A and B are shown apart, each in its own frame.
Chain A
């Protein structure tokens, strides 16, 4: 029982990372119906930037905020420069461009920062009072940061004019244009937010998985599984899916498949959801008109 509880709690902590990644995926999917295959590599790149800032003597939270700003700008620039001209292009073209971005950022990171694993600091000291036998302080911190981020995102979309405009632009671009919303910029802002959310996930994951160019390949796979399970068009469902998948990964890893098959488990989850419940647990079923 003790062991099971332990697995569940640390699954929730991993789930917090998947939740941020999943929310970032939803952010872009809602607006453009595209799945950002490069989300993980963008997050990895952002984390390298944070690491460089910290090594240059910045305090952790200063570097954290600066990295969020950097990732936001990178997201906006990618939307404006790369994704913009592709609007309405067939799925193949956008998928290839996303893969291009993935490889580009992976290559740039190895080129600039090198292949060697780096340690990445946690802002939550190992002996802090909120640690326990179930959850280390970093794990508690991860869950806390994710919940704070989710709340901020919720408040932003629910209570600000800009948030409302972004939701409108995603829901119905034509009518939004008629009431004077700049739909193009709303999409770019969505990309920026997704970039920042990914950076949060990267910086929270790095103390656990260590910082190196391929650090996100497992995380992004679980992020996909989370988003699909919760519903890739549902900003509540997807993060919830993240926590669910995190727990599932840990419990199944400990009792069913062993830690050597965790990626195959994510693969099975992704294909299973796509085949049997393509809209996810909390998603909307879409009907396509011929």
Chain B
């Protein structure tokens, strides 16, 4: 038993080391556009992490992550252009604002069960671009034009060019948030969240404050998504309301489901997937990525509900079993 646990821990360690090395070395081997794509992957990883925390670990189905992504992006960019906050600090501010708004929203909808929460957040996702275009907010949001502010310049131009410095900014935030999620879910909070997901009534009877945990989980998830939104805006150099439609929320959902929503490692795969695959498939047709996404969502839920992370886990298990079955 110890040997098996040791082996799977070792496999995880090797995998982590590989991913970390690749993340640190790759930007120096790639061209500017690929580095930009890499940054977008990291941004999506953070957003998918936020989705996993909420939907995977507390069982609250959110189809409205794009709304918090937009809130984070707009908060960050308004802080940057209007309040002249240093650009590296804007994701922190965005995360804080999204945490507060997310907690309040989560508190409001805490008693909605799965399906109805999905409905409410679906409506939120559809209404978001329209709210962003509101005339009354025009002075802040730039209306339907959005804001074009240009990518922030690198602080160390001799060492890193603009794209690379932004990439490392994203990577730093992703690293912090990833280890944060990992620590959170290992401890009692993580167990309480899972209990809430699997047995809400039983969880309430052993003294877990359902509404408080649910709304905090909503807030934390919004924080992750908001940081991702602010980073995404910095990487792109502009924001506009039509980048934050229902389809952004769905893209985050796809990343979560494909990677596996109950394993935070899956977010890395999911984030990469939603940036790379559409790029490859859109050569067939502009609409092909969406048709493929639809098909994948359906097939994934039916064939491997644990996503790629779940698949990897069961392969490891099977390997372990066959090794044990073999006579020594």
Once the chains are docked, how many angstroms separate the CA of A75 from the CA of B246? Answer: 24
- Size of A's binding interface in residues, CB under 8 A: 50
CB-defined contacts of A270 to chain B, threshold 8 Å:
119-120, 123
Residues of B contacting A: mostly: helix
Residues of A near any B CB (own CB < 8 A): 33-35, 37, 82, 85-86, 89-97, 99-111, 115, 213, 217-218, 221, 224-225, 228, 260-264, 266-267, 270-271, 274-275, 278, 290
Among listed B26-34, B171-179, B284-292, interface-contacting one: B284-292
Say yes or no: A91 contacts B123, CB within 8 Å.
no
Give the complex CA separation of A194 and B118 in angstroms: 21
Interface residues of B in 109-141 (CB under 8 A from A): 109, 111-116, 118-120, 122-124, 126-127, 130-131, 133-135
Residues on A with C-beta less than 8 A from B127 are 221, 263-264, 266-267
Q: What are 6 A-B pairs with beta-carbon distances under 8 A?
A: A37-B63, A92-B114, A96-B257, A100-B293, A100-B297, A103-B297
CA distance A107 to B63 in the complex (A): 18
Additional A-B contacts beyond A103-B294, A224-B119 (12; CB < 8 A): A90-B114, A91-B113, A91-B114, A102-B294, A104-B291, A104-B295, A107-B291, A107-B292, A221-B126, A263-B130, A271-B120, A274-B116
Q: Nearest Cβ in chain A — how far from B281, in angstroms?
A: 10
B305 to chain A, nearest CB (A): 7
Given contacts A92-B55, A111-B288, A224-B123, contact A104 B130 (CB under 8 A): no
Which residue of A89, A107, A274 contacts B294 across the interface (Cβ within 8 Å)?
A107
Q: Which residues of B contact A (CB under 8 A)?
A: 55, 59, 61, 63, 108-109, 111-116, 118-120, 122-124, 126-127, 130-131, 133-135, 201, 246-247, 250, 253, 257, 285-298, 301-302, 305
Contact status A274-B287, CB under 8 Å = no
What's the least CB distance linking B153 to chain A, in Å? Answer: 36
The answer, among A85, A90, A107, for a CB contact under 8 Å with B290, is A107
Specify which chain B residues have a CB less than 8 angstroms from the CB of A103 in the assembled complex: 247, 250, 290-291, 293-294, 297
Please give the distance in Å from B120's CB to the nearest CB on chain A.
5
Chain B residues near A107 (CB-CB < 8 A):
287-294
With both chains docked as a complex, state the minimum distance between the C-beta of B163 and any C-beta of chain A, in angstroms: 31
Chain A binding surface SS class:
helix
Please name the residue on chain A nearest to B285 by beta carbon: A111
Partner among B130, B247, B285, B298 whose Cβ is within 8 Å of the Cβ of A100: B298
- In the complex, which residues of chain B have a beta carbon less than 8 angstroms from the beta carbon of A217? 126, 246
Query: Could you tell me the distance between the alpha carbons of A104 and B254 in the complex, rounded to whole angstroms?
Result: 12
Residue of A nearest to B254 (CB): A103
Q: For B288, give the chain A residue with the smallest CB separation.
A: A111
Rounded to whole angstroms, the CA-CA distance of A264 and B125 in the bound complex is: 10
Question: Of B59, B133, B298, which is in contact with the most chain A CB atoms at under 10 Å from its CB?
Answer: B298
- The interface residues of chain B lying within 8 Å CB-to-CB of A275 are 108-109, 111-112
Taking a contact as CB atoms under 8 Å apart, the answer to whether A105 and B123 are in contact is: no
Q: Which A residues are in CB contact (< 8 Å) with B257? A: 96
Q: Report the minimal beta-carbon distance from B193 to chain A, rounded to whole angstroms.
A: 15
User: With A and B bound together, what is the CA distance between A86 and B289 in angstroms?
Assistant: 25
CB distance from B185 to the nearest CB of A (A): 18
Q: Which B residues are in CB contact (< 8 Å) with A86?
A: 301-302
Determine if B63 and A99 form an interchain contact, defined as CB atoms under 8 angstroms apart: yes
Contact B122 A37 (CB under 8 A): yes
For B61, the chain A residues whose CB sits under 8 A away are 91-92, 95
Q: How far is the CA of A290 from the CA of B204 in the complex (A)?
A: 12
Question: In the complex, are the beta carbons of B287 and A101 less than 8 A apart?
Answer: no
- Rounded to whole angstroms, the CA-CA distance of A53 and B287 in the bound complex is 22
What A residues does B124 contact at CB under 8 A?
267
Bound together, the chains give a CA A114 to CA B119 distance in angstroms of 28
A108-B291, A264-B130 given as contacts; is B114 within 8 A of A95 (CB)?
yes
A265, closest chain B residue (CB): B127
Bound Cα distance A86, B297 (Å): 13
